Homo-oligomer: A and B are copies of this chain.
């Protein structure tokens, strides 16, 4: 950790493919590509680390193939850090006919219905083959809402799996394994989870099981609670979050790392994010608007193309519309965490948060 402002933290995390400066947003490259942008675009946008999804990569093209390609970095032509998730969330949200036992999760592929089994050991084998710099313990991600009883039982399983994963991890010198804190919206369960994982001494801690449907107040309460429990000297990653203001609100609670499909997914559907909030760029209201998406933005899109042009591209369903919108929104997300980092170093993070809340038109949560 390099600096604090309130509970917001700025830090550095060293990986074999370079240093990550936190707080950071990680563009999501589900199937070995961040949708709509090239690796070169990502470099230019200042992306320091991207995310790959273990579940998707395991199914297609398969971790064995990625291993043969020399790992995911080589396969997709990205030489900076990569993080892979555990597959726990996708098994819960995408696959059919899940059967959860103490051993692991048996599931059907959402693509072809084929049967597969994820165990903590299997998920380590897959992630070791993929070769990301940061990898995740296999977790059971309870749906929301779930009974406290279910969450408590699930939590015990996840902790056992974390321990098994730790022993199965074959590449400890090159891949940092994070434990995933579960426990739903229950502080006592979150505390139990966090402390048990801390006893296993992971190089970083993920906060899972949020952004699954609970209220923003609950999310904020849980991260605020965990801020007082998780060790100060290890990175904290809030999985699958979120809107620009979600990210700022959770940086305020001591979270360092974020990922979300929202910037790329919304961009492909014609909605971009800017420092002044969301903009439905495909809307007919921009038909004759020859200004850029954001006058103050220095991304490739804003430096070269107008709202009217991008609106035209969406109206005729041209690929370039999705590309340009994705470039802009990813640039904004990465600029936003950069501004947050700067504000932390200058110890004015709360002022920054208030300013962004006003501009973005989204509330602050404490």
List chain A positions with a Cβ less than 8 A from chain B.
31-33, 35-40, 60-61, 65, 68-70, 75-77, 287-288, 290, 300, 304-306, 308-309, 312-313, 315-316, 318-320, 322-324
Contacts and interface: CB of A to CB of B under 8 A. Distances in A.
Given A60-B315, A319-B319, A69 B309 contact: yes
Which residue, A38, A306, A315, has most C-beta atoms of chain B within 10 A? A38
A193 to B, nearest CB: 34
Contact of A32 (B309, B323, B324): B309
Contacts of A36: 319-320
15 contacts: A33-B313, A33-B318, A35-B318, A35-B319, A35-B320, A38-B324, A60-B312, A60-B316, A65-B287, A65-B288, A69-B290, A69-B308, A75-B312, A77-B304, A77-B309
Please list the 7 inter-chain residue pairs (A to B) with the smallest Cβ-Cβ separation, ordered nearest first: A77-B304, A61-B312, A33-B320, A31-B316, A36-B319, A33-B318, A77-B305
B69 A306 contact: yes
B309 A75 contact: yes
A241 B279 CA distance: 41
A17 to B, nearest CB: 16
B319 A75 contact: no
Given A69-B308, A308-B75, A315 B38 contact: no
Contacts of A38: 300, 320, 323-324
A59 to B, nearest CB: 9
A68 B318 contact: no
A65 B308 contact: yes
Contacts of A60: 312, 315-316
A322 B65 CA distance: 21
A290 B323 contact: no
A287 to B, nearest CB: 7
A300 B43 CA distance: 14
A36 B38 CA distance: 12
Contacts of A65: 287-288, 308, 312
A32 B31 CA distance: 30
A65 to B, nearest CB: 6
A77 B319 CA distance: 16
A61 B308 contact: yes
B300 A40 contact: yes
B32 A312 contact: yes
Contacts of A320: 33, 35-38
Given A69-B290, A287-B61, A308-B69, A319 B318 contact: no
Contacts of A61: 287, 308, 312, 315
A322 to B, nearest CB: 7
A68 B316 contact: no
A306 B75 contact: yes
A94 B93 CA distance: 44
A290 B68 contact: yes
A68 B306 contact: no
Contacts of A304: 39, 77
Nearest to A305: B77
Contacts of A315: 60-61
Contacts of A300: 38, 40
Given A40-B300, A65-B308, A319-B322, 17 more contacts: A33-B318, A35-B318, A35-B319, A37-B320, A38-B320, A38-B324, A39-B304, A61-B312, A65-B287, A65-B288, A65-B312, A68-B288, A68-B290, A69-B308, A70-B290, A75-B309, A323-B323
